[in-house]
A and B are shown apart, each in its own frame.
Chain A
Amino acid sequence: MTIRKDKSLSPQPLDSLPKSATGIEGLDEITQGGFPKGRPTLICGSAGCGKTLMAMEFLVNGIIAFNEPGVFMAFEETADELTTNVASLGFDLKQLTDQNKLKIDYVYVERSEIEETGEYDLEGLFIRLAYAIDSIGAKRVVLDTIESLFSGLSNPSILRAEIRRLFRFLKEKGVTTIITGERGDATLTRQGLEEYVSDCVILLDHRIINQISTRRLRIVKYRGTTHGTNEYPFLIDEEGISVLPVTSLGLDHEVSNKIISSGVEGLDEMLGMGGFYEGSTILITGTAGTAKTTFVSSFANKVCQENKRCLFFAFEESEKQLLRNMKQIGLNLEPHITKGLLKIHASRPTLHGLEMHLVTIHKLIKAFKPDVVIIDPMSNLISIGGINEVRGMLTRLIDFLKVNKITAMLTALTIPTGNSLELTEEGISSLVDTWILVRDVEGLGERNRGLFVIKARGMQHSNQVREFIITQQGINLLDVNIGPTGILTGSARLAYQMQQKQTAITKQNELEKKDRELARKRKILESSIDNMRTEFESLEEELRQISTAQQTASSTPDLTLAQPKKKAATPKKSKDT
């Protein structure tokens, strides 16, 4: 088997293997273009795994999308039955038949009617097939399921030789053929048809695990081309088959430097960049009742306010309940839904298997083209699958979202086991870019909610645990109060704040008291200064009088007698003032 990538997709080079596109979502991707053109492909699987449907979709898509008429040779169902069965998928076989694009030939093999009387061949079948192909110029043929011949005819050696001849005949005709086959015990098909089909073998599987069914597809072999080798889940719904696209394209997706706000102001601050990077994956974990849903709803609200599209997968609450609850805390999401910016898809996790969920998510994302996807909570999915499966699914999902540059916010419920609050059961923390933990902080007879950014790739995020409360205006992150024993929450915070207030008041009082004292002292000082000044002034006065008295005494002695009386009066005056 030569493997060269450049060969597989382009039909131009002569040496490449031409392919016939199936038109089935996802299948063309993993087969890198479809089934081998002009060669037979075997689709095998157990009963009810979708072989006939896949074959029919191949034909119908061929007619509608690629204008390649097809022949359906049915060994199990009549044309009418087939028409009715696939009508639910929107395939109008009758119309296609009337347009001469499709020919259904029901081959009836009933053992009780048949007596083998000697040598024979299956030329009758060949003639029918050749006639059907030639009459409408068919490019695609389905034989569903040729193994029925083995139950109708008893000579296996003739049958095997004839089937071998049939495949050669089909190859010569140049038609792309699908042969379906029921799965055997140890072999891919009961009659070992895979021996004859060497080009492409596809195995369909339908498993029930924990009472939930999952369909899977695997390319067992595909000669001359590269192909996906994993088991791919697929889904049959009202639009036909869709196979889940390739798991991971490798870690080479584009990144964005743009920031998208979380819708909670305080959280934006904590992240250091004012929000999350666009296209990143955010995980919010926490125990029950820690407002995870409120966080994601705030985010959804913010996203829609910025005219971006948000797809919300709710696995816990119905749409109406979610809307009502969020309305109570000031998050009115309804207008966003009316505007078509928000879509809430609520379903029970147990509704489908994991893969079905994944396919549903894929389909909705492809249809809605959101900028942001929210899954609340993804941990509920564990109830329907093992941890490994959930991890596998989430890896695929996150890969898918990253490749499509969709910001994703997931919540996970953690069950506190000892101190391992930070462990998510899925162990997907390494897959996410930003991890926010919301937790209960218990103490002093109450529980408070705390928020902590465990990691935020490419951001200088805060290291603090911030308390938050849910108000009627949404989530409100409170300022950090650090007490002697660490960060304070709830009533401890209130008490601390009260205490702080009290101390402030006391301090203020003391200050005021000191001011008053100072003022008083100043007053005393000032008054004593006044006293001293008046004393000095009186002394000065006295001195001046003495000197004048001496001058006058020399001239008029009468006056000097009268002078001491005056002097006694002046100090009295000063005391009064």
Chain B
Amino acid sequence: MENEDKQEEAFDAFAQTGSAQVYLLRLYITGMTPNSKRAVENVKRICEQHLKGRYELEVIDIYQQPTLAQGEQIIAAPTLIKKLPHPLRRLIGDMSNTEKVLLGLDLRPK
């Protein structure tokens, strides 16, 4: 339910701005491991650079919410899930390879 609300909000935002698609992103990390820290930094940086104003990022620590790991089919950490726009994508790793992240987010033509 929460998800849907957020999706609606995102759609609203998209409708209001009238610009390119709105991105709904979730980043699943495991506590404060180096990989997790790097991933958070990298994702934030990339989003600010390429999706400024049209993204929504949620960082979730699966140590805190282990049930989410099953529900979201998380196996690797860190994992970035692009919920919107479709298709759904999973990006795993510390997001240090910006090219690959952009490719995964469909921000670069393949």
Contact = CB atoms under 8 A, between A and B. Distances in A.
Bin the interface of chain A by size: 20 to 34
A124 B28 contact: yes
B13 interface: no
B24 interface: no
Bin the interface of chain B by size: 35 or more
Contacts of A152: 75
B92 A117 contact: yes
A107 B74 CA distance: 8
Contact of B70 (A109, A117, A123, A128): A128
A130 B92 contact: no
Interface in A115-160: 115-125, 127-128, 130-132, 149, 152-153
Contacts of A319: none
B74 A128 contact: yes
Contacts of B93: 116-120
A114 interface: yes
Contact of A107 (B33, B35, B67, B75): B75
A252 interface: no
Nearest to A124: B74
Interface in A145-184: 149, 152-153
A105 interface: yes
A124 B103 contact: no
B104 A117 contact: yes
State the main secondary structure of chain B at its contact with A: mixed
A195 interface: no
Most chain A C-beta atoms within 10 Å of own C-beta, residue among B28, B35, B92, B101: B92
Given A127-B62, A128-B69, A115 B75 contact: no
A460 to B, nearest CB: 76
A115 B103 contact: yes
A117 B100 contact: yes
State the main secondary structure of chain A at its contact with B: mixed
A131 B95 contact: no
A152 to B, nearest CB: 8
A113 interface: yes
A191 B93 CA distance: 22
Contacts of B33: 123
Contacts of B103: 115
B73 interface: yes
A66 interface: no
B18 interface: no
Nearest to B79: A124
Interface string B76-110: 11111000000111111111110011011000000
A152 B92 CA distance: 12
Contact of A116 (B28, B63, B73, B92): B92
B92 A120 contact: yes
Most chain B C-beta atoms within 10 Å of own C-beta, residue among A105, A108, A131, A152: A131
A132 B77 CA distance: 18
Contacts of A132: 70
Interface in B35-68: 35, 38-39, 42, 62-63, 66-67
Interface of B: 28, 30, 33, 35, 38-39, 42, 62-63, 66-67, 69-70, 73-80, 87-97, 100-101, 103-104
Interface of A: 105, 107-109, 113-125, 127-128, 130-132, 149, 152-153
12 contacts: A105-B70, A114-B90, A119-B94, A122-B77, A123-B30, A124-B69, A124-B74, A125-B74, A127-B30, A128-B70, A131-B67, A132-B70
Given A115-B103, A117-B91, A124-B30, 13 more contacts: A105-B70, A107-B73, A109-B75, A114-B89, A115-B91, A117-B80, A117-B104, A118-B93, A118-B94, A120-B76, A123-B76, A124-B76, A127-B62
